[in-house]
Amino acid sequence: MILGRHEHTENEISWVDINNMQAGSLAVRNLFQKGYRKIALITNGDKELFNKDRVIGYCRELQDVGIFSIRRKPEEQTTAQARIL
């Protein structure tokens, strides 16, 4: 049994996961409905499938509510920008 969907699982391996795209989307929607407009998503990269799916849900919901999204790599951010986010 594997926790989290894996990109290279064979049919004979069982796995359990949540809908990470929906989780990213719901997080943005909830914060937006509470009045927040500067909504950041901080991850440890996009190597893991669950992070990729959460980023997709996050970006789609930002577009749906009319917030422009910018994806930056950690090395492209200054210390001040990282604190603001």
User: Are 39 and 62 a contacting pair, CB within 8 Å?
Assistant: yes
pLDDT digits (tens, 9 = 90+) for 38-72: 999 988 877 888 889 999 999 999 999 998 766 66
Tell me, yes or no, if the pTM score tops 0.75. Answer: no
Confidence of residue 81 (pLDDT cuts 50, 70, 90): very low
Whole-number Å distance between alpha carbons of 46 and 44? 7
